[in-house]
Structure 1
Amino acid sequence: MQVRFASEPAPDRQENEDTAFHAGPMVGVLDGVTAPEGVNTGCRHNPAWYVRRLSAHLSEAAPAATAPSLGDSLAAAIDMVRRDHDGHCDLGNPATPAATVCLVRSTGNRFEYLILSDTTLVVEHGDDVLALTDRRFSDVVAELDRLHPVPGAPMGSPEFLSWRDAYFAHKYQLTNTAGGYWVANSVPDAAYHAMTGSFPTRGADGVRRAALLTDGVSCLVDLYRRMDWAALLDAISRHGPDAIIQQVRRTEESHGNGAGTGRRWKRQDDATAALCTFTDDPG
């Protein structure tokens, strides 16, 4: 398995809340969950710190000779990050730093995957290209938008801040709960609610290529409708992950302030893409 990846912060940010890694047979992309300004997280750490620590612990465990399931690996890494807080943070706060996760692992004749929240995995196997993502988060957002319509008041106004507080209070009630959505934060059990599965790496139906994407890159398809998943996978393969991120930036700029795109809190986003290409050797 050959791997290339790139990660870039949004142009208006100093710190990247995404990350990507390749360790042994495992590849991952993580996207830190940004709490809106003014929301108390109960933690002295930020999402960028969280994704760095989580990816570091996943990388340390990846080359193990007797590897557990991807769910076990993620649960153990989340528990290790809990200890990294060193007792100084309120990890029961629902706004505690968190991340969406996509992990893949090539072992023997199988290509395993784990997807938690709104990262996307695009897989070419045989003659098919499939896009896999955890839709529970988008389902929750759609329901919250229905129950808490955005007021016409400007950002920062008392009416807007009151709406924001109600919106996020309801969102956090649905975080890491049955009937809501699951994300990596301080709850190791969340790892066992991820989407998981596998594909063969050999034969007519074997995996040829796979791309792991944060929503800062998958937006080219599911938000901006600039291409379909097969075309996105081709573009990353042909031009590389860095080039696809630059295409994202040009697309974001062409939409000005983000009006009509569905991006309420930010016009531009951190962007990360990893490409896995398989040769005859599945390792």
Structure 2
Amino acid sequence: MQVRLASEAAPGRTENEDHAFQTGPLVAVLDGVTAPPGIDTGCIHGPAWYVSRLTARLTEVASACSDDPLADNLAEAIRRVRGDHGNRCDLNNPATPAATVCLVRDSGQTLDYLILSDTTLVTERAGQVQIFTDPRFREAVAQLRRVPVMSDYAIGDSDQAAPVPQTINRKYQLTNQPGGYWISAANPDAAHQAMIGSLPLTGKDRVRRAALLTDGTSCAVDEYAFLDWAELLDLLTEQGPKELIRRVRLAENADPEGHAHPRYKRHDDATAALCIFDKESR
């Protein structure tokens, strides 16, 4: 497995709340959840800290428990991050720091995957492109968008919208709840609600390429639509993840006020990982 990674903070921001890493056969992308301005998260830490700690703990767990299911690995990593808070934070607060997660692991015969919230996995098998994502997050967002106050989500002078309290409360009522969506935060049980599966790495139907994307790069297809999924895989293969991020920045800058593409942020942190599997070794 050959792996190429890139992650970049949104322009004008000093902290990157995304992260990508490889440790042995495990590859991951994570996207920290930015709390809206003025929201009490109950925590002295921010999303960049959370993503950093979850990365460290996932690396530990994956090394020690490489044969365990990915959901068990993630649950244990979340449990260890709870301890990293040091009893200084209210981890029952629904706005506690959190992250979306996409994991893949080369298990020899199969590519195991786990998707939690709005990360995206794109694979190529037998010349066909498949998209894997967690539909529950988009369904929860669709519920919120049916409420008129969501029109208040518009980019302003601060480069970030100020959503009204009713919308925020409804969002958190859907977080890590049945009928809502699941995300990595302080509850290890969320890991067992992830979308999981395995794809073949041998035979004619094997995975040849796989891309892991945060929403800051999947937007090239599902928001800005300047690529389709096959073209995105080819761009990552031929020019690398940094080129994909560069093109996303061009699309963001072409619509700075969000008129053509309404969104919560003018720019987002952007992360992509590409895995290429050696045909000869399979």
Q: Same fold (TM over 0.5)?
A: yes
Percent identity, please. Answer: 55
**CA offset digits 1:93-117 (Å, max 9, x no partner):** 0000000000000012000000000
Check the 8 A contact 1:18/1:270 in 2, yes or no.
yes
Check the 8 A contact 1:148/1:167 in 2, yes or no.
no
Secondary structure of 1:63's aligned partner: helix
Matches within 5 A, 1:26-65: 26-64=26-64
Task: Summarize the Cα distance change of 1:108–1:40 in structure 2 as closer, same or farther, 3 Å threshold.
Answer: same
- Tell me how far 1:202 sits from its aligned partner: 1.1
Secondary structure of 2:44's aligned partner: coil
Whichever residue aligns with residue 52 of structure 1, its letter is: S
Query: Which residue is 2:267 aligned to?
Result: 268
Query: Which residue is 1:195 aligned to?
Result: 195
Check the 8 A contact 1:25/1:62 in 2, yes or no.
no
Whichever residue aligns with residue 20 of structure 2, its letter is: A
1:125 aligns with 2:125: yes
Check the 8 A contact 2:61/2:76 in 1, yes or no.
no
Could you tell me which runs of 5 or more consecutive residues in structure 1 were left unpaired when the two chains were aligned.
Answer: none
After the TM superposition, list the runs of 4 or more consecutive aligned residues in structure 1 that deviate by more than 4 angstroms: 151-156
TM-score (norm: length of structure 1): 0.94
Secondary structure of 2:31's aligned partner: strand
* Cα distance between partner residues in 2 of 1:63 and 1:153: 42
Check the 8 A contact 2:224/2:261 in 1, yes or no.
yes
Query: Which residue is 1:183 aligned to?
Result: 183
Secondary structure of 2:150's aligned partner: coil
How well do the aligned residues superpose, as a CA RMSD in angstroms? 1.8
Check the 8 A contact 1:223/1:262 in 2, yes or no.
no
Check the 8 A contact 1:122/1:131 in 2, yes or no.
yes
- Tell me how far 1:191 sits from its aligned partner: 0.3
* Cα distance between partner residues in 2 of 1:189 and 1:65: 18
Query: Which residue is 2:75 aligned to?
Result: 75
Query: Which residue is 1:110 aligned to?
Result: 110
Whichever residue aligns with residue 2 of structure 2, its letter is: Q
Secondary structure of 2:209's aligned partner: strand
Query: Which residue is 2:216 aligned to?
Result: 216
Check the 8 A contact 1:25/1:63 in 2, yes or no.
no
Check the 8 A contact 2:144/2:150 in 1, yes or no.
no
Whichever residue aligns with residue 268 of structure 2, its letter is: D
Task: Summarize the Cα distance change of 1:151–1:229 in structure 2 as closer, same or farther, 3 Å threshold.
Answer: closer
Whichever residue aligns with residue 265 of structure 2, its letter is: K
Whichever residue aligns with residue 275 of structure 1, its letter is: L
Task: Summarize the Cα distance change of 1:178–1:65 in structure 2 as closer, same or farther, 3 Å threshold.
Answer: closer
Whichever residue aligns with residue 128 of structure 2, its letter is: D
- Tell me how far 1:88 sits from its aligned partner: 0.1
- Tell me how far 1:152 sits from its aligned partner: 6.3
1:277 aligns with 2:273: no
